[in-house]
Amino acid sequence: MFAARCIGISLASFVLLYAPLSAAVGLVWKPLWRHVRPLSPRVSANLLFAIRLAPLAAAAVFTLLFSLPSFLLLEPRSTNESVGTAPLLLGSCCLMLLAGGIVRTVVAQARTSRAVAKWLADSTAIEADNPLPVFRAGATAPALALAGVRAPKVLVSEAAFSLLTPQELRIALEHEVAHVRSCDNLKRLLFRLAVFPGMKALEDAWAEQAELAADDAAVTNSGEALDLAAALLKVSRLGSMQPHLTSGLLHTATALTLRVRRLFFWEQNQPAPVTAYWWWGPSLALMVCLIVIPTYGSALTAMHVVTEWLVR
């Protein structure tokens, strides 16, 4: 019974923090976005990603560092208390949320694996001046797609090969390398794990900024910017949607005009340096540690009082 109450309290604590934080993120991210948007696309994408996953990370850390230790250290093991109605109901809600996220993740990964296997069935590997494996795929494949998390690869359709010049193809592949370095496919997978209604608009805003950031990372001069703009326009004729957990040169058509305009005015539109923002995360972590460490024992005691109230 002690183990059952421990699990129930831990799950209840998780959902009591995760659900309100997720709802708050859904409400405040758009006003916050007005302040984030003037920053460089890479900084904006990273901040949007952090905002999207903050409820999941905060709930998990709080449960592991406070709820679980307070119960294990301060709750007597000899008591015969039942789990309690509130922890049972809240724990069930938490399990449904977690199961929904896991199912969404597994289904998305399985569909992506089947689609990539189909695309690779009639493909041939090609030599390219690129650190990623590149495959020339058949007509069923997207125009240009980056697939995979642990072993990423790029698939280029026959139609894209016929439309793109060697320079346009090279810079398009550099765009995909930028997605790999940013772990964008892994981030898409994590979005599916952190299930909560009303987050699609936030994820779409992140996807737009991730594409702009990949453009900036791929381009080093105005000539390459024009080549990438031409590649975008050509690929847009072949269809823009990338299925499942893949990234592409043109993931959706929504940001096409913005991306082409930025590339045409590349010299005047250089992104702000990101070095001014790298210290935000470490500084916040240090501040939290300085607050939590001296008061950790009393925090566990207070948390145990709350869990005792919850069990009643």
**What pLDDT tens digit does each residue of the chain (312 aa) get?**
778 888 888 899 999 999 999 999 999 999 988 887 788 888 899 999 999 999 999 999 999 998 888 888 887 776 666 667 887 888 899 999 999 999 999 999 998 888 888 888 888 888 877 788 999 988 778 888 888 888 899 999 888 888 999 999 999 999 999 999 999 999 999 999 999 999 999 999 999 999 999 999 999 899 999 999 999 999 888 865 565 678 877 766 657 888 999 899 887 555 544 444 555 667 777 787 777 788 888 888 888 788 777 766
Tokens 């981030």 belong to residue: 187
Quick one: tokens of 182?
A: 């940013």
Which DSSP letter does residue 249 get?
Answer: T
- Report which DSSP code applies to 271: P
Element (H or E) spanning 248, and its range?
strand 246-248
Which residues pair with residue 156 across a beta bridge?
136, 144
SS3 for 157?
Answer: strand
Q: Is 76 left (phi over 0), alpha (psi -120 to 50) or beta?
A: beta
Q: What are phi and psi of 300, to 5 degrees?
A: -65, -40
pLDDT score for 8: 86
Q: Residue 171's CB: how many other CB atoms inside 10 A?
A: 26
User: Collapsing DSSP states into helix, strand and coil, what is residue 125?
Assistant: strand
Question: What is the DSSP track for 233-245?
Answer: HHHHTT-----SS
pLDDT at 224: 93
State the CB neighbour count (10 A cutoff) for residue 139: 8
| Rg, C-alpha atoms of the chain | 24
Angle between helices 184-193 and 85-121 (to 10 degrees): 140
Tokens 């072993």 label which residue?
A: 151
Task: Determine contact, residues 124/107, Cβ cutoff 8 Å.
Answer: no
pLDDT, position 23: 95
Query: Helix (H, G, I), strand (E, B), or coil: what is residue 104?
Result: helix
Residue 273 buriedness (CB in 10 A; 0-12 / 13-18 / 19+): exposed
Q: What is the pLDDT of residue 72?
A: 85
In the chain, the amino acid numbered 257 is T
